[in-house]
Structure 1
Amino acid sequence: MDKNTENMLAGKPYRPGTPELNSFSHLAHRLCRDYNLTTDEDTVEREMIIDRLFPQHDDGIYLQGPIHIDYGRFTKIGKNFYANFNFTILDTCPVTIGDNVMCGPNVSIITAMHPLMYQQRNIRQQADGQFDDVEYGKPVTIGDNCWLASNVTVCPGVTIGNGCVIGAGTVVTKDIPDNSLVLGVPGKVIRPITEKDRLENFPY
């Protein structure tokens, strides 16, 4: 791994268009394309693609597809993970997902950041002649036993604790404590999840 990639993973300014990062992202995008052309019956092919796309994954991962992944190799996924349609990860910094996590349709996990000032953000010609920008990121961690409902966006630098439910359409901008019900834009903790939430006549 070159110094630029190390800077990216450390949350420092980096160039996204270097040969190494291009090779990583181009491979991930090809694997996403291949996965998105499969069907639910293509179990073996899907497993092979997931193994290449997410080298750091545990058993029991299921992605409905389509999926949209920036690198994949910088994401760690625990056991029994499920994601519905249009699952997106921008893993310019490490993404860590715990065990037994469920994601509804259109969930996005984002670590990528751009400077607020346009003088630093704009694309420009670099010393090697390539047109490129300088970016940075912040890691994301999602704990065990979480449910992210449809259209949830997890923003850079966020840690979601264990046992949380993130309601549909929520934008998570701050850390969330364990066993929290979170709703809104930006997401706010509505209340803790307790034994009072246990459903009656349910098999577990």
Structure 2
Amino acid sequence: MRDGDWYPALTPELEAMRRTARIACHAHRMMAPDARGAMAPELAALFARVGRDCFIEAPFHCSYGCHIELGCGVYLNAGCVILDSARVAIGDRTMLGPGVQIYCADHHRDATERAKGIERAWSVEIAADVWIGGGAILLPGVRVGAGAIVGAGAVVTRDVAAGARVMGNPARPV
């Protein structure tokens, strides 16, 4: 899984990890707004790294959580989804708009293998000071450079250079 090789995603061990993530996301979602602070303690404890002054609006969903690294001052607006079957690193002061989705899983092309839950995972890295507009989707393996802007609704299929602005489906520089 960590090496980007094909693996069976339907094992009891991985299902237990996903269940732990669902419980943490539920705890975050159910906290009273005034009590929430940055995020539910269960969610913060799940992540690989949480920098200071991060804030995640509810609802939020992740697959495992343990592969997510947040820099300082990261903001995730309501409805963000991170399917972190591989490392997802989000740099300092980066902002994700509502409904942003980050996918690491790549399912097998063969229908028989796909039915068995065979997949592979590629990390997604977002550098510092990035702004990702609402409803954008980042596909497995992409890197977004420092200071880049991803337009609302963009589907990012390739790396985005530092300082670039991209939009559309597939996302292209503007």
TM-score scaled by structure 1? 0.81
CA separation in 2, counterparts of 1:44 and 1:101? Answer: 18
* Percent identity of paired positions between Structure 1 and Structure 2: 30
Work out whether residues 38 and 56 of structure 2, in 8 Å CA contact, stay in contact via their aligned partners in 1: no
What is the CA–CA distance in structure 2 between the aligned matches of 1:16 and 1:150, rounded to whole Å?
29
Number of residue equivalences:
174
1:134 to 94, 118, 132: 118
Output the CA distance in 2 between the equivalents of 1:177 and 1:187: 12
Q: Distance in 2 between matches of 1:154 and 1:46?
A: 23
Q: How does 1:94-173 map to 2 (within 5 A)?
A: 94-123=87-116, 133-173=117-157
CA RMSD, Structure 1 to Structure 2 (Å): 1.4
Could you list the structure 1 runs, at least 4 aligned residues long, displaced by more than 6 angstroms after superposition. Answer: none
Q: Deviations over 1:58-82 (max 9, x none)?
A: 1111011100110111111101010
Match of 1:181 in 2: 165
Which residue of 2 is the match for residue 85 of structure 1? 78
- How far 1:160 sits from its partner (Å)? 0.5
Native 8 Å contact 1:75 1:96 kept in 2? yes
Q: By how many angstroms is 1:47 displaced?
A: 4.3
Q: Show the counterpart of 1:51.
A: 44
Alpha carbons 1:40, 1:64 under 8 Å: kept: no
SS at 1:68's partner residue?
strand
- The whole-number CA distance in structure 2 between the counterparts of 1:170 and 1:74 is 24
SS in 2 for 1:162: coil
Q: Where does structure 1 lack aligned partners over 5 or more consecutive residues?
A: 1-7, 124-132, 191-204
The higher radius of gyration belongs to 1
Q: Does the Cα contact within 8 Å between 1:168 and 1:183 map onto a contact in 2?
A: yes
Instruction: Calculate the TM-score normalised by the size of structure 2.
Output: 0.94
Q: What is the CA deviation profile of residues 92-139 of structure 1, one whole-angstrom value per residue up to 9, with x for unaligned ones? A: 11111111110111000100111223233223xxxxxxxxx2111111
